A and B are shown apart, each in its own frame.
Chain A
Amino acid sequence: GAGVSQSPSNKVTEKGKDVELRCDPISGHTALYWYRQSLGQGLEFLIYFQGNSAPDKSGLPSDRFSAERTGGSVSTLTIQRTQQEDSAVYLCASSLYPGAGEAFFGQGTRLTVV
Chain B
Amino acid sequence: GENVEQHPSTLSVQEGDSAVIKCTYSDSASNYFPWYKQELGKRPQLIIDIRSNVGEKKDQRIAVTLNKTAKHFSLHITETQPEDSAVYFCAASIQGAQKLVFGQGTRLTINP
Contact = CB atoms under 8 A, between A and B. Distances in A.
Contact of B43 (A33, A50, A108): A108
Interface in B42-84: 43-46, 49
Main secondary structure of the interface of B (DSSP, over half): loop
Contacts of B107: 40
A56 B100 CA distance: 12
Contacts of A108: 43
Nearest to A31: B99
B104 interface: yes
A102 B91 CA distance: 11
B25 interface: no
User: Which of under 10, 10 to 19, 20 to 34, or 35 or more describes the interface residues of B?
Assistant: 20 to 34
Contact of A99 (B44, B46, B89, B99): B99
B99 A56 contact: yes
B98 to A, nearest CB: 5
Interface in B85-109: 89, 93-105, 107
Interface string A17-51: 00000000000000101010000111101001010
8 contacts: A33-B100, A41-B105, A48-B99, A97-B95, A100-B96, A102-B49, A103-B46, A105-B43
The 4 lowest CB-CB distance pairs between A and B, nearest first, are A99-B93, A105-B43, A42-B105, A42-B104
